Amino acid sequence: MNFEFVRTGKPVDKLYGETYRPQFHFSPAKNWTNDPNGLVYYEGEYHLFFQHNPFGINWGNMTWGHATSRDLVHWKERAPALHPDKLGTIFSGSAVVDFADTAGFQKGDEKVIVCIYTSAGGTSPESTGRPFTQSLAYSNDRGVTWTKYEKNPVLGHVAGSNRDPKVIWHEPTKKWVMALYLDGNDYALFGSKDLKEWTKLCDVAMPGTGECPDFFELPVDGDPGRKLWVFWGANGNYRLGTFDGATFKPKTDVIRSLWGANDYAAQSYSDIPDSDGRRIQISWMNGGRYPGMPFNQQMGFPRELTLRTTPQGVRLFMMPVREIEGIRSAKKDWKDTALKADGPALPLGEGELWDIEAELDPGSAQEVGLRVRGLEIVYDTRAKTLACLGKTAPLEAADGRISLRVLVDRTSIEIFAGGGLVAMCSCFLPDLLARSLDAFARGGEARIAALALHELKSAWD
């Protein structure tokens, strides 16, 4: 825990213990980072590639940084994987394990990991005059070293600043499918048998959305006999529909999933084993501030995605992955505890790293909520909204209660409300001396039906 500032009033600069360093969210040791890229699982390791500037604290010189983890919590940063070349700097993309060696890149016993990325032409002196195209790189040694395909690009320019290829394997038709952002609110799907030659399958319209697509299938209410496809965009807007290997047919309009200030460009993992079966996603917590730090920006905490039936129809839910339980330490519980109307807030704890599970009964209160290090998470019973850090989301009580799951790190608050139907993930720059957590009610009495407060250990210890 970072108590050094509290004791001395001086910034802390020990690597991964710095004053504003996230303690259980990934950030690189130094310099700029943005979109998560190439999320892929292979032989016990979760790979996290990311947009990275190896030479400066601000955006530029886009390269794929690389980190690995065995539990989605403790990360080891590796050498950068993909560097700019004559086709452009290395913009966002995805990765897959080519188990059947469809591309013919395999040289030994290890299956090949293939990265599919945007060669961002015109973003460096060496690539002046070139368009945005899509390229491949591959590894025969579990991601230690990388070779770019000699015949890059594998997909030429289609439209606008076409970018951010997300590739999946479609088992029923035995082919690879690429979701690609084209321009404006327009996306498209492409198909390939070998990752090297691509044919357009269909267009996909995502009004009010842009860039960084994801495309995956999920069971509804856990029923393997009833599945829907999710087409996702960078701002968390998504559509549900069907896909036959050639055409995505939307069954819904665009649905909003993200309500916080800093949650963007999320991507889900490829090749999670069937024995696990989860759809796991990581986002970029864009726009955070980290004054005086050697790094700039952080990732969101990994979360599991599910589809569930609601009164409004099938919707996407998200909650932090269970692996966070591995860094829980002390725990405190409250049950059936009164919150007096406009009275003193109920103290819950002191610290800076928490995993909070709360069920609040608003009772007669007009507002009920939590105050985290001086910042309020407020449920308005009349408007039926949840608010934090200047952002507001619609939220209906369920059986008269509001459920909140809140992850608090040094520079971020991630809120999952209504069982994960509402996600509000935001960055903040804390008052380093504000370390309290409490609960309150206004305009009437409320109750804590149940609350579990888990103190968290640093993932870097």
Residues recognised as catalytic: 35
For 44-183, strand residue ranges (E) read 45-53, 63-69, 75-82, 89-98, 112-120, 132-139, 147-148, 163-170, 175-183
Pick from 442, 423, 260, 454: nearest CA to 360: 442
Cβ partners under 8 Å of residue 304, min gap 6: 278, 279, 280, 281, 318, 319, 320, 321, 322
Tokens of 273: 């084993």
Alpha helices, DSSP H, located in 280-344:
none
Residues 6 or more apart whose CB falls under 8 angstroms from that of 295 comprise: 21, 27, 28, 29, 30, 31, 32, 33, 57
Token couple for 237: 């807007």
Answer yes or no: are the C-beta atoms of 193 and 280 closer than 8 Å. no
Task: Please classify residue 40 by burial: count the beta carbons closer than 10 Å to its beta carbon, then call 0-12 exposed, 13-18 middle and 19+ buried.
Answer: buried
Tally the residues of the chain.
Answer: 461
